[in-house]
Amino acid sequence: MLKMINVSKKIDGRQVLENVNITLEPGMISGIVGRNGVGKSTLLRTLAGILDPDEGEVTFNEINIHQKPEVKQKLTYVPDSTEILKTYNVKEIVKLYDAIYEDFDVMYFYSLMDRFKLPKNRKLRTYSKGMKALFLMILSFSTKADFIILDEPTNGLDPIVKRNILQFIIEEVSERQLSVLISTHHLEEVEKIADVLIMMKDGQIESTTSIEDAKSSFRKVQAVYKHSLPEKIANLNNVTILSQTGRVYTLMIKGNIEETMKEMQQEQPLLLEELPMTLEDIFISSLGGESHVS
Amino acid sequence: MFHKALWMRNQKLAAPAVWAVYLSLFFFLPFSFFGRAQSLQTQAEKFNDTQLNFTFHGVEIALFLTLILVGFASLLLGQERTTHSADLTFSLPFKRKDIFLSKWMFGVVHITTGLLVNLLLCMLIIRFTILHEIADASFLLHFMALVIPYSIAIFTFSLFIGTIAGSIVSQFILSLIFLFFPIGFFSLIGTFLMYHGIELDMMYDVNGRFNSFGDFISIATLPVPIFEFAYYTDVVTEIDGSVMDYTRMPDYLVLLSPLLYFAVTFPLGILFFSRTKNENNGRLLVFEKGKGFFSIGVVVCFALAFGMAGGGIFGSYDQPSLLGYYFSAAIGAVLSYFVLRKIMNIRLGLSK
C-alpha cells in the first residue's frame, strides 16, 4: 500500500502541494487528473522519492521511501520525459535494469518487446517519441514492481498502440494485484481503465472517489425556461452552468441530485432532460475555474 | 554500498571523461616522454651533442588535468540535472548517499588508475631509453605523491560543487571559479587593504618555508602546488663532475591542503546530495537557502574586482585613487547585482 500522509511542498515560494493525503491500495488503477500546474507531476515525483516533502511523509508498505529507498525495488516511476536513457541501446538497458531490480524479468521484457513490435537492436534515441514512451512502460512492468507510477504515459502514442497499452495495463493489474497510478489529461483513458479517480485542485486533493461514485454524484442536464435561468436555480451552490445558448442551459449538478431536480421542476421549465455525461464534464465543472491555463 | 548498477550508470554518464583521463594523461606523460627520449637519442647520435637536458614541469599537465577532473565530475553529476535523467537516478532503489559515493568512487578509481599507469609507463620509458643516462626516475615518485592526492581533492571538490550547482554548466564554471577562488579573492582583499594603507606580502614560494600571506593563499588554492612541481637535469654539468639534477617539489606540508579540502568537501558533498532539491535542477543553484549568501559573495567580489581595475585607471602607479576605487566598485556591484538577478532563475535544461 502506498500512502502519502499530510504532504506539503513549496517550490519557488509557491505552495504546490498542501496537506495531501492519498492511500493507494493494491490491485487498483488510480487516475490523477487536474489542470496544468496544479501539482500532479510534483505529487508523482514526491511519491517516487525524487522530491522531498517539506512536511509529511510517503510510505510504501508502512516504510518511509525517503528514508529507506531500498523499498523502491517494488515501486517504479515512468517520467513524462522520453529523453532519459536515450544514449543506451536496448541490450544495455536490459543489463542495467537487471542489475538494479532483483526481480527484473528479462524473458518477459523481450516477450513484451515482441508483442508491441519494438525493435531490439537499436539505440533508444532512434525510437520515435511514442516508441520511447511505450518502451519505458514495458521496462517498468518488467521489473515486476507492485506499484507503478506513470506520468502522462500515453503522450505521443497512436490510438492503436494506446488501446493496446491500456489493455495491457488492465491485464497486468488483474493478473498480479499490481497497483498503477496514472497522471493524464486524456480523461477518456481514466474513464476506461481507472477504478479510482483523484482530482487535484490548487495543490490539494479535491476528491478521491471511484469512477462510478464520481459519476453518480453528478448529473448533467439541459434546461430551458420561459425566460432566463431562474435566479433561485442559478444561485444554488451545487449547480454549475457548463454552457448557455440563448435560453438553453447545460447545467451540472453536483450532489443532492434528486432534491435539486425537484427544485428545478418547480420552476416550470419548458424542457428539463438528462444528458449523457463524461468524465470531462465532471472535470470541467469541478476543476474548470477560470478558462486560462495556469 | 557498492552497487554494480550504479557503476554501470556512471560508466555511461561519464564515458567521455574516462576516455579523456586515460588518453590525455597518456599523451601528456608517456607519449610526450617517449617523444622527447627519441629526439634526445637523435640529438646524441647525429650531432654527438653533449648538451642534453631534460625538464618536466607540473604545469605541463596540471591545467589540462584540472579541466578534465572538473569536466569528469560535471558529467557525473551536473549532466543528470541538465538532461532530466536525475529523475531516473533518484527514483531508483538506492540511498542518495550510495549514489553520491558511487560517483565519487568511480571517479577516484579511474583518476588514480590513469595517473598510476601512465606515470609507471613514464618510469619504464626513462628506464629503457636514453633518458636513463640523464634522468633519475625517482622524481616521478615525488610527482605521484603530489598529483594523486591533489587530483582526488580537485575531483572531490568539483563533485561537491555539483551538489549545490543546478546544472552541468554551473557546476563546471563554479568549480573552476572556486578552485582558484583563494588566490583570486585574497588578491582582491590584498588590493582593497592596499588602498586603505595596509600592505600584505603577496609573494609566494611554495617550495620554501611558508612565511608570507602569499604562501598561505597559494597553498589554499588547490591546483597551484602541482603547477609548481618541476624537475630539471642537464648532462653538460656531469662532464665537470657535478651533476645538475634538480627536483623542485613543494614541501610535503602542502599535502595538508588536499587533505583538508577532502575532509571538508567529501562529507559536505554527501550531506548536500542527500538533501538535494531536484525541483531546482537546471537552475544556477539547487538550494534556495544559499542564494542570498551566494549573491552577496558575487556582488562583493565583483565590486572588489571593478575597484581593483578602476582604482588603477583613475590613479597613478604610486598614488592610487581611493575615490576611483570606490566609484568603480559601486559600478561593479550594481552591474553584477542585476546580471545575477537575471541568471539566478534561468533554467538550463534540455527539452523533455
- With an 8 Å Cβ cutoff, are A11 and B96 in contact? no
pLDDT at B52: 76
Any domain includes B341: yes
> Residues B127, B265: one domain?
yes
Q: How far is A175 from chain B (nearest CA, A)?
A: 24
Specify the DSSP element, H or E, that contains A262: helix A257-266
CA B301/CA B188 separation, integer angstroms: 8
Count of CB contacts below 8 A, A vs B?
Answer: 75
Any domain includes B187: no
Query: Across chain A, what does the average pLDDT equal?
Result: 87
- With an 8 Å Cβ cutoff, are A83 and B84 in contact? yes
Residue in chain B lying closest to A49 (CA):
B91
pLDDT at B182: 85
Question: How remote is the C-alpha of B61 from its chain's centroid?
Answer: 11
Of the candidates B94, B98, B104, B144, the one whose C-alpha atom is nearest the C-alpha of residue B122 is: B144
Residues B161/B171, Cβ–Cβ less than 8 Å: yes
Helices marked H in A116-246: 129-142, 159-176, 187-193, 211-216, 231-234
> Residues B29, B159: one domain?
yes
Residue A254 has pLDDT above 70, yes or no: yes
Residue A251 has pLDDT above 50, yes or no: yes
Residue with cell 436555480: A233
Local confidence band at A133 (pLDDT 50, 70, 90 cut-offs):
confident
Any domain includes B145: yes
pLDDT at B210: 57
Percentage with pLDDT > 70 across chain B: 89
Domain holding B167, by residue range, is: 4-180+221-282
Residue in chain B lying closest to A89 (CA):
B12
Q: List CB contacts of B26: < 8 A, sequence separation 6 or more.
A: B118, B121
B304 φ/ψ sector (left φ>0, alpha ψ -120 to 50, else beta): alpha
Which range among A213-227, A265-279, B104-118, B226-240 shows the weakest confidence by mean pLDDT? B226-240
Q: Model confidence over A7-31: pLDDT tens digits?
A: 999 998 889 999 999 999 888 899 9
Q: How many domains does chain B have?
A: 2
Residue A259 has pLDDT above 90, yes or no: no
CA B184/CA B308 separation, integer angstroms: 12
Residue A43 has pLDDT above 90, yes or no: yes
Any domain includes B125: yes
Residues B7/B106, Cβ–Cβ less than 8 Å: yes
CA A263/CA A257 separation, integer angstroms: 10
> Residues B134, B265: one domain?
yes
- With an 8 Å Cβ cutoff, are B279 and A69 in contact? no
Of the candidates B269, B224, B226, B259, the one whose C-alpha atom is nearest the C-alpha of residue B76 is: B269
- With an 8 Å Cβ cutoff, are A83 and B351 in contact? yes
What is the end-to-end Cα distance of chain A in Å, rounded? 32
CA B171/CA B71 separation, integer angstroms: 9
Q: Model confidence over A208-236: pLDDT tens digits?
A: 888 777 777 888 888 898 888 888 888 88
CATH T-level fold of A217-287: Alpha-Beta Plaits (3.30.70)
Local confidence band at B161 (pLDDT 50, 70, 90 cut-offs):
very high
CA A269/CA B130 separation, integer angstroms: 109
Which range among A287-291, B230-234, B271-275, B347-351 shows the weakest confidence by mean pLDDT? A287-291
pLDDT at B120: 95
Residues of chain B whose beta carbon is less than 8 angstroms from a beta carbon of chain A are 3-5, 8-9, 12, 83-88, 90-96, 275, 277-279, 350-352
Residues B299/B337, Cβ–Cβ less than 8 Å: yes
pLDDT at B43: 82
> Residues B258, B311: one domain?
no
- Mark which of B236, B261, B282 sits at the end of a domain: B282
Q: How far is A51 from chain B (nearest CA, A)?
A: 6
Q: What number is the average pLDDT over the span B42-56?
A: 77
Any domain includes B137: yes
Q: Where in chain A is the domain with CATH 3.30.70.250?
A: 217-287
- The correct answer on CATH 3.40.50.300 for the domain covering A2-213 is yes
Query: Across chain B, what does the average pLDDT equal?
Result: 85
Which set of grid coordinates corresponds to residue B202? 603577496
pLDDT at A290: 42
Residue B164 has pLDDT above 90, yes or no: yes
User: Which residue type is seen at A284?
Assistant: I
Q: List CB contacts of B234: < 8 A, sequence separation 6 or more.
A: B51, B52, B53, B134, B244
Q: Model confidence over A186-198: pLDDT tens digits?
A: 888 888 888 898 9
Helices marked H in chain B: 4-26, 32-47, 59-73, 79-82, 86-91, 96-128, 131-134, 138-164, 168-179, 181-195, 213-220, 224-228, 236-239, 256-274, 291-314, 322-344
Q: How far is B274 from chain A (nearest CA, A)?
A: 10
Any domain includes B212: no
- Mark which of B282, B314, B331 sits at the end of a domain: B282
Of the candidates B151, B140, B145, the one whose C-alpha atom is nearest the C-alpha of residue B107 is: B151
Residue in chain A lying closest to B96 (CA):
A69
- Name the residue with higher pLDDT: B100 or B233: B100
- With an 8 Å Cβ cutoff, are A45 and B8 in contact? no
Residues B235/B226, Cβ–Cβ less than 8 Å: no
Where does A25-126 show beta strands of DSSP type E? 29-33, 55-60, 63-64, 75-78
Partner residue opposite B5 with nearest CB, options A81, A85, A100: A100
Partner residue opposite A79 with nearest CB, options B8, B9, B87: B87
Question: Which is it for strands A147-151 and A179-183: parallel, antiparallel or unpaired?
Answer: parallel
pLDDT at A267: 83
pLDDT at B190: 81
Where does chain A show beta strands of DSSP type E? 2-11, 14-24, 29-33, 55-60, 63-64, 75-78, 147-151, 179-183, 196-201, 204-210, 218-224, 239-245, 248-254, 271-275
Residue B347 has pLDDT above 80, yes or no: no
Residue B48 has pLDDT above 70, yes or no: no
Of the candidates A231, A251, A226, the one whose C-alpha atom is nearest the C-alpha of residue A241 is: A251
Percentage with pLDDT > 90 across chain A: 35
> Residues B90, B236: one domain?
yes
pLDDT at A3: 92
Enumerate the residues of chain A whose CB falls inside 8 A of the CB of residue B350.
Answer: 83
> Residues B303, B319: one domain?
yes
> Residues B293, B278: one domain?
no
pLDDT at B204: 57
Enumerate the residues of chain B whose CB falls inside 8 A of the CB of residue A50.
Answer: 86-87, 90-91, 278
Specify the DSSP element, H or E, that contains A287: helix A279-287
- Name the residue with higher pLDDT: A87 or B263: B263
Residue A289 has pLDDT above 70, yes or no: no
> Residues B231, B338: one domain?
no
- With an 8 Å Cβ cutoff, are B84 and A81 in contact? yes
Residue A292 has pLDDT above 60, yes or no: no
CA B347/CA B198 separation, integer angstroms: 43
> Residues B78, B33: one domain?
yes
Q: What number is the average pLDDT over the span A72-86?
A: 86
Local confidence band at B240 (pLDDT 50, 70, 90 cut-offs):
low
- Sign, CA dihedral A248-A250-A251-A257, equals positive
pLDDT at B202: 60
CA B240/CA A42 separation, integer angstroms: 78
pLDDT at B189: 84
- Name the residue with higher pLDDT: B319 or A175: A175
* Radius of gyration of chain B, Cα coordinates, nearest whole angstrom: 24
User: Which residue type is seen at A43?
Assistant: L
Which set of grid coordinates corresponds to residue A245? 445558448
CA A77/CA A147 separation, integer angstroms: 9
Beta bridge partners of B56: B231
Residues A60/A2, Cβ–Cβ less than 8 Å: yes
Top mean-pLDDT range of A240-244, A284-288, B88-92, B226-230: B88-92
Any domain includes B201: no
Q: List CB contacts of B92: < 8 A, sequence separation 6 or more.
A: A69, A72, A100, B5, B99
CA A34/CA A184 separation, integer angstroms: 8
- Mark which of B259, B282, B305 sits at the end of a domain: B282
Enumerate the residues of chain B whose CB falls inside 8 A of the CB of residue A100.
Answer: 5, 92-93
Residue with cell 515560494: A13
- Name the residue with higher pLDDT: B205 or B185: B185
- With an 8 Å Cβ cutoff, are B279 and A42 in contact? yes
> Residues B348, B268: one domain?
no
Top mean-pLDDT range of A21-30, B217-226, B268-277, B326-335: B268-277
pLDDT at A211: 77
Residue B307 has pLDDT above 90, yes or no: no
> Residues B230, B351: one domain?
no
Residue B299 has pLDDT above 60, yes or no: yes
Local confidence band at A294 (pLDDT 50, 70, 90 cut-offs):
very low
Specify the DSSP element, H or E, that contains B246: strand B244-248
Residues B36/B54, Cβ–Cβ less than 8 Å: yes
Q: What number is the average pLDDT over the span B70-85?
A: 92
> Residues B168, B301: one domain?
no
- Dihedral of the alpha carbons of B217, B221, B222, B223, in degrees to the nearest 10: -110
Quote the DSSP letter at residue A238.
T
Any domain includes B116: yes
Residue B244 has pLDDT above 90, yes or no: no
Partner residue opposite B94 with nearest CB, options A69, A92, A96: A69
Local confidence band at B350 (pLDDT 50, 70, 90 cut-offs):
low
Which set of grid coordinates corresponds to residue A146? 507492485
Residue in chain A lying closest to B8 (CA):
A96
Q: List CB contacts of B53: < 8 A, sequence separation 6 or more.
A: B134, B232, B233, B234, B235, B236
Partner residue opposite A96 with nearest CB, options B9, B83, B279: B9
Quote the DSSP letter at residue B52.
-
pLDDT at B209: 56
CA A192/CA B290 separation, integer angstroms: 47
Residue with cell 519557488: A12
Specify the DSSP element, H or E, that contains B230: strand B230-234
